[in-house]
Amino acid sequence: MSDQDKTKEELLRELAELRRQVADTTDIHDQKCAEEARAKERQSLWNMLQASDHERQIISYEIHDGLAQYLAAAGMQFQAYEFLKENLPVEAKKAYEAAVELVRQAHAESRRLINEVRPPVIDEIGLETAISHLVHEQRKLGGPKIKFDSDVQLNRLPPILENALYRITQEALSNACKHSESRKVLVTLTQEGQNIRLEVRDWGIGFDAEAVKKGHFGLEGIRQRVRLLGGRLTIDSKPDSGTMIQAIVPIMEKLTED
């Protein structure tokens, strides 16, 4: 039957059927996209949980191997002091002094750990100065020449943003110093309208960001932080041509409306 022979009703029915088929395909496509987005979101959350679990593990190792050891050793020295003080006062004095020194080291260690968990300097002095401190501390370890340029008009940024940008800088800077073999590293913090741009650049050996082995959480942490801040992350790295990590994040007072 040719199109001319078909009745109007038949043509309309065919048209309706075609429309239904198109709608079905669009539905399936939409469903597939939504499903993919949900899977991606689940994977991101999973990665984030894994990274945070890993951070906790590191902190617990550090407490176990550092702080707890100093305190246990100090306790033993105090016990020795108790035991020796009547009959061997010189030995007792040595034990006492060793114990005091161990307590002092435990105190320094706990300060370092607190700093690692939530750097108090940011609260007190703001992001720019906190990053200057970070750069200063990193310089003390030797390694590449580090330059820090900043141009931020706002005096203070929202605390969540300051903390996240500090962590991102810490990880990217430590990566550049640890892995890149570059002779210099440049850290830049700039305000561009309603955005903050953070860049850590080196001129070292570069790497393939898509081929990072399992069990490394630094870059993943950077990705997650930028994502949570609603920002954009660019990792530009090629073997032998250095690495540029750039995060552009919006300055906002609240991340979510309550």
Ligand X SMILES: Nc1ncnc2c1ncn2[C@@H]1O[C@H](COP(=O)(O)OP(=O)(O)O)[C@@H](O)[C@H]1O
Q: Which two tokens stand for residue 17?
A: 């059927």
Q: Which is nearer to ligand X, 169 or 243 (CB)?
A: 243
By CB under 6 A, how many residues form the interface with ligand X?
16
Q: Which stretch binds ligand X (CB under 6 A): 17-25, 63-71, 114-122, 217-225?
A: 217-225
- In the complex, residue closest to ligand X by CB: 218
Residues 6+ away with beta carbon under 8 Å from 186:
146, 147, 148, 149, 199, 200, 201, 202
Q: Work out whether 212 is an interface residue with ligand X (CB under 6 A).
A: yes
Residue 143 C-beta: closest distance to Mg ion, Å: 14
Chain mean position to CA 177:
16
Residues 6+ away with beta carbon under 8 Å from 254:
158
Q: Work out whether 143 is an interface residue with Mg ion (CB under 5 A).
A: no
- In the complex, residue closest to Mg ion by CB: 218
Q: Which is nearer to Mg ion, 102 or 168 (CB)?
A: 168
Cα separation, 17 vs 121, whole angstroms:
67
Q: Work out whether 175 is an interface residue with Mg ion (CB under 5 A).
A: yes
Please spell the DSSP secondary structure of 80-101, one letter per residue: HHHHHTTT-HHHHHHHHHHHHH
SS3 3: coil
Q: Which is nearer to ligand X, 78 or 207 (CB)?
A: 207
When binding is defined by CB under 6 A, the residue of 175, 223, 225, 226 that contacts ligand X is 175
Neighbours of 72 (CB within 10 A): 12
Q: Work out whether 119 is an interface residue with ligand X (CB under 6 A).
A: no
Pairing, β 184-192 against β 232-237: unpaired
Pairing, β 184-192 against β 145-151: parallel
When binding is defined by CB under 6 A, the residue of 84, 100, 103, 219 that contacts ligand X is 219
Residue 171 C-beta: closest distance to ligand X, Å: 6
Q: Work out whether 63 is an interface residue with ligand X (CB under 6 A).
A: no
95: nearest Cα among 111, 75, 113? 75
Q: Work out whether 205 is an interface residue with ligand X (CB under 6 A).
A: yes
Q: Which stretch binds ligand X (CB under 6 A): 8-16, 57-65, 85-93, 214-222?
A: 214-222
Chain mean position to CA 157:
18
When binding is defined by CB under 6 A, the residue of 80, 131, 202, 249 that contacts ligand X is 202
Residue 181 C-beta: closest distance to ligand X, Å: 8
Residues 6+ away with beta carbon under 8 Å from 116:
59, 62
Q: Work out whether 216 is an interface residue with ligand X (CB under 6 A).
A: yes
Residues in the site for ligand X, rule: CB under 6 A? 171, 175-176, 179-180, 202, 204-207, 212, 216-219, 243
Residues in the site for Mg ion, rule: CB under 5 A? 175, 218
